[in-house]
Structure 1
Amino acid sequence: MTPHFPDIPSLLAHWATERADDEVVRFDGRTWTWRELQERVHRLAGALRAAGVGPGDRIAVLDLNHPSCLELTLACAQIGAANAVVNFRLAPPEIVYVINDAEAKLLFVGPEFAAAAESLREKVPTVERLVRIGGADDEYEALLAAHDPDPEVHPVAPDDCFVQLYTSGTTGFPKGAMLTHRGMLAHAANVLAEVPMEAGAVVQVAMPLFHVGGTSYSFVAMTAGARMVIMRIPDPAGVLDMFVAERITHTFLVPALMAALAAVPDAADRDYSSLKILSYGASPIPLPVLRACVALFPGTLQQVYGMTEACGVVTTLGPADHENPDVAHRLVSAGTPIPGVEIEIRDPATGDRVPTGEPGEVWVRTEQLMAGYWRKPDATAAAITDDGWLRSGDGGHVDADGYVYVTDRIKDMIISGGENIYPAEIERVLAEHPDVGDVAVIGVPDDRWGEVGKAVVVAAPGATVDEESLLAYCREHLASFKCPKSVDVVAELPRNPTGKVLKKDLRAPYWEGRERQTV
Structure 2
Amino acid sequence: MSELATPRFLDERVAHWAAVKPDAEAITYLSRTWTWSQLDDRIRRVAGALAARGVGRGDVVAFLDKNHPACVEVTLAAGSLGAATAIVNFRLAGDEIDYVLNDSGTKVLFVGSELLPAVTAIRDRLPGVTDVIEVAPEGDDEYEAMLAAATPVHRSADVDPGDTVVVMYSSGTTGRPKGVALSHANLIAHTVHAFGDWPFDEGDKNLVAMPLFHVGGTSYMQFGLHNGAPTYMTRDVDGAALAAGILAGASRTFLVPAVLAKVLQTGPDAVKLFGALKTFAYGASPMPLPLLREALVAWPDTDFIQVYGLTEVCGVATLLGPEDHRGDDEERLVSAGRPIPGVEVRIVDPESLQDVAAGTQGEIWFRTPQLMKGYLNKPEATAEAITADGWFRTGDIGRLDADGYLFVEDRIKDMIITGGENVYSIEVERILAEHPAVVEVAVFGVPDEKWGEAVKAVVALDGDGVTEAELIAWAREHLAAYKCPKTVDIMDALPRNPTGKILKKDLRQPHWEGRDRATV
Match of 1:178? 181
CA distance in 1 between counterparts of 2:490 and 2:411 reads 15
Amino acid at match of 2:334: V
When residues 228 and 455 of structure 1 are mapped into structure 2, their CA distance, relative to the original with a 3 A threshold, is closer
> Contact 2:234/2:245 (CA < 8 Å) preserved in 1?
no
The root-mean-square deviation of aligned C-alpha atoms, in Å, is: 3.1
Match of 1:225? 228
CA distance in 2 between counterparts of 1:397 and 1:457 reads 22
Match of 1:148? 151
Give the unaligned 5+ runs of structure 2: 419-424, 426-443, 451-467, 506-520
Residue among 115, 118, 122 paired with 1:116: 118
When residues 201 and 343 of structure 1 are mapped into structure 2, their CA distance, relative to the original with a 3 A threshold, is same
Question: Mapping of 1:284-299 within 5 angstroms?
Answer: 284-298=286-300, 299=302
> Contact 1:191/1:220 (CA < 8 Å) preserved in 2?
no
CA distance in 2 between counterparts of 1:406 and 1:333 reads 7
Match of 1:235? 238
Higher relative contact order (CA 8 A, sep 6+): 2
Q: What do the CA deviations read for 1:172-220 (whole angstroms, capped 9, x no partner)? A: 1111111111100000000231322233321100000000000010112
Match of 1:323? 326
Secondary structure of 2:317's counterpart equals strand
CA distance in 1 between counterparts of 2:33 and 2:412 reads 45
CA distance in 2 between counterparts of 1:40 and 1:456 reads 45
> Contact 1:247/1:275 (CA < 8 Å) preserved in 2?
no
CA shift, 1:458, in A, is 6.4
Secondary structure of 1:112's counterpart equals helix
2:369 aligned with 1:385: no
> Contact 2:363/2:393 (CA < 8 Å) preserved in 1?
yes
Question: Mapping of 1:457-496 within 5 angstroms?
Answer: none
Secondary structure of 1:85's counterpart equals strand
CA distance in 2 between counterparts of 1:498 and 1:19 reads 43
Q: What do the CA deviations read for 1:207-261 (whole angstroms, capped 9, x no partner)? A: 0000000001011221111111000011124313422x12222101012222111
Q: Please report the TM-score for the alignment, with normalisation by the length of structure 2.
A: 0.80
Secondary structure of 2:305's counterpart equals strand
Question: Mapping of 1:431-446 within 5 angstroms?
Answer: none
> Contact 1:9/1:153 (CA < 8 Å) preserved in 2?
no
Match of 1:510? 494
CA shift, 1:300, in A, is 1.8
When residues 303 and 152 of structure 1 are mapped into structure 2, their CA distance, relative to the original with a 3 A threshold, is closer
Question: Mapping of 1:89-488 within 5 angstroms?
Answer: 89-134=91-136, 138-169=141-172, 172-243=175-246, 245-267=247-269, 270-272=272-274, 274-298=276-300, 299-324=302-327, 326-412=328-414, 456=446
> Contact 1:359/1:395 (CA < 8 Å) preserved in 2?
yes
CA distance in 2 between counterparts of 1:497 and 1:17 reads 43
Secondary structure of 2:27's counterpart equals strand
> Contact 2:27/2:231 (CA < 8 Å) preserved in 1?
yes
CA distance in 2 between counterparts of 1:35 and 1:457 reads 48
CA distance in 2 between counterparts of 1:261 and 1:292 reads 11
CA shift, 1:296, in A, is 2.6
Match of 1:420? none
Secondary structure of 1:312's counterpart equals coil
CA shift, 1:284, in A, is 1.3
Segments of 4+ moved more than 6 angstroms:
490-496, 500-509
CA distance in 1 between counterparts of 2:65 and 2:76 reads 17
Q: What do the CA deviations read for 1:22-77 (whole angstroms, capped 9, x no partner)? A: 11100012111111111101111110011111110001111000000000001011
Amino acid at match of 1:363: W
Q: Please report the TM-score for the alignment, with normalisation by the length of structure 1.
A: 0.80
CA shift, 1:412, in A, is 4.0
CA shift, 1:339, in A, is 1.1
When residues 501 and 241 of structure 1 are mapped into structure 2, their CA distance, relative to the original with a 3 A threshold, is same
Task: State which drifts further: 295-304 or 107-116.
Answer: 295-304
CA shift, 1:408, in A, is 1.3
Amino acid at match of 1:179: L
> Contact 1:89/1:497 (CA < 8 Å) preserved in 2?
yes
Give the unaligned 5+ runs of structure 1: 414-422, 428-439, 441-453, 461-489
CA distance in 1 between counterparts of 2:265 and 2:312 reads 33
Q: What do the CA deviations read for 1:355-408 (whole angstroms, capped 9, x no partner)? A: 000000110111111111111000111111111111111000000111100011
Amino acid at match of 1:370: M
Match of 1:88? 90
Q: What do the CA deviations read for 1:429-470 (whole angstroms, capped 9, x no partner)? A: xxxxxxxxxxx9xxxxxxxxxxxxx9956699xxxxxxxxxx
CA shift, 1:96, in A, is 0.8
Secondary structure of 2:196's counterpart equals helix
Match of 1:448? none
CA distance in 2 between counterparts of 1:371 and 1:87 reads 21
